[in-house]
């Protein structure tokens, strides 16, 4: 699957280019954070990666092979949960993989334990708080043991301790060898988690750099402005 090469991706909506020649190369290790202003096309890009959107032009090369059927999991900004127990929601993700029913429950319980929700396994998923819901969504993605995990703002509107819990889980997933591509507007989080940063503006990649270099010396003017705009907030953190 890796190296993942995205070249010149284009996607139009309502007569406007949302992805406007986006190119990117991702190696097989670590956490990459996608940064960029609202409406830059980050979510759309993640959607094309997990196959929900067909780009109008451009090409994605999955390490020289065909697009893998499984192995890419996505956590949406607003995850939807079935009217079922936590356990049922996690097991759901294993069904398309044809995991035997007996094994499904064991695997689901194991990941629920690791996201700290096992004691609520039988509760209704719809009764969870926002932070718990994000953890459940992570568990649901994690249980499939993806090679590539796409996270769309997994900590938006969470309190600091929930943010920390999510970050701990993300790191844990990564240590198991899962490649993580994640968007966030929390620059502190980016510095804490990222190995490298991809900065997107107006549907194209402006900059792709290791995290320290990106924050110390952003190369593109757009990235510099973006970081500066966020700076006061970052100091208060």
Partner 1 sequence: MNGLSLAFSEAFSLLAGFDHRVAEIVLLSLQVSGLAVLFGTLIGLPLGACLGVGRFPGRQVLVVLLNGCMGLPSVVVGVVVYLILSRSGPLGEFGLLYSATAMVIAQTFLVVPLMAAIARQVVEDAWRDYEEELTAMRFRWFDSVRVLLHDCRHSLMVAVLAGLGRAMSEVGAVMIVGGNIDRSTRVMTTAIALETSKGDLPLAIALGTVLLGVILLLNAVAYVLRQWATRRYA
Furthest-apart CA atoms within the chain: distance in Å: 54
Residues 21-50 that bind Mg ion (CB under 5 A): 43
Is 117 one of the binding residues for ligand ATP (CB under 6 A)? no
End-to-end CA distance of the chain: 37
Closest CB to ligand ATP among 14 and 235?
14
Q: Which is nearer to ligand ATP, 13 or 97 (CB)?
A: 13
Q: What track of x and - describes contact with ligand ATP for positions 7 through 46 (by CB under 6 A)?
A: ------xx---x-----------------x-xxxxxxx--
Q: Does 168 bind partner 1 (CB under 8 A)?
A: no
* Shortest spacing between CB 102 and Mg ion, in angstroms: 38
Q: Are 141 and 74 in contact (CB under 8 A)?
A: yes
Smallest distance from partner 1 to CB 96, Å: 4
Alpha carbon of residue 10 to chain centroid: 21
Residue 199 touches which of Mg ion, partner 1, ligand ATP, none (Cβ within 5-8 Å per kind): none
In degrees and rounded to multiples of 5, residue 66 shows phi and psi of: -75, 165
Helix (H) or strand (E) holding 32: strand 31-35
Q: Under a CB-based contact definition with an 8 Å cutoff, are residues 94 and 45 in contact?
A: no
Q: Which two tokens stand for residue 94?
A: 């294993």
Q: How far apart are CA 154 and CA 137, in angstroms?
A: 9
Counting Cα atoms < 13 Å in the Cβ hemisphere of 10 gives 10
Nearer to ligand ATP, 11 or 62 (CB): 11
The answer to the question of residue 92 lying near partner 1 (CB under 8 A) is: yes
What minimum distance in Å lies between the beta carbon of 46 and Mg ion?
A: 8
Residue with tokens 């139009």, as numbered in its chain: 12
Cβ closest to partner 1, residue 74 vs residue 173: 74
Q: Centre a 10 Å sphere on the Cβ of residue 162 and count the other Cβ atoms it contains.
A: 17
107 binds, among Mg ion, partner 1, ligand ATP, none (CB under 5 to 8 A by kind): none
Candidate segments 7-15, 93-101, 203-211, 224-232, binder of partner 1 by CB under 8 A:
93-101
Nearest to 152 by CA among 47, 70, 48: 47
Q: List interacting residues with ligand ATP (CB under 6 A).
A: 13-14, 18, 36, 38-44
Q: List interacting residues with Mg ion (CB under 5 A).
A: 43
């Amino acid at each position: 699957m890796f190296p993942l090469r995205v070249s010149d991706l284009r996607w139009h909506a309502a007569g406007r280019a949302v992805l406007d020649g986006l190119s990117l190369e991702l190696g097989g290790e670590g956490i990459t954070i996608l940064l960029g202003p609202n409406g830059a096309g980050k979510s759309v890009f993640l959607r094309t990666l997990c196959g929900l959107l067909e780009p109008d032009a451009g090409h994605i090369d999955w390490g020289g092979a065909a697009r893998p059927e499984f192995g890419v999991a996505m956590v949406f900004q607003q995850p939807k949960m079935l009217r079922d127990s936590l356990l049922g929601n996690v097991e759901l993700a294993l069904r398309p993989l044809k995991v035997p029913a007996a094994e499904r429950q064991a695997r689901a319980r194991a990941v629920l334990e690791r996201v700290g929700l096992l004691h609520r396994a039988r509760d209704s998923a719809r009764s969870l708080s926002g932070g718990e819901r994000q953890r459940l969504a992570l568990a649901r993605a994690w249980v499939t043991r993806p090679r590539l995990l796409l996270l769309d703002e997994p900590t938006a509107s969470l309190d600091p301790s929930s943010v920390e819990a999510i970050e701990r889980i993300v790191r844990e997933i990564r240590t198991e060898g899962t490649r993580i591509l994640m968007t966030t507007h929390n620059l502190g989080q980016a510095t804490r988690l990222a190995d490298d940063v991809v900065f997107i503006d107006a549907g194209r990649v402006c900059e792709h750099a290791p995290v320290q270099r990106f924050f110390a010396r952003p190369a593109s003017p757009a990235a510099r402005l973006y970081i500066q705009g966020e700076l006061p907030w970052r100091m208060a953190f």
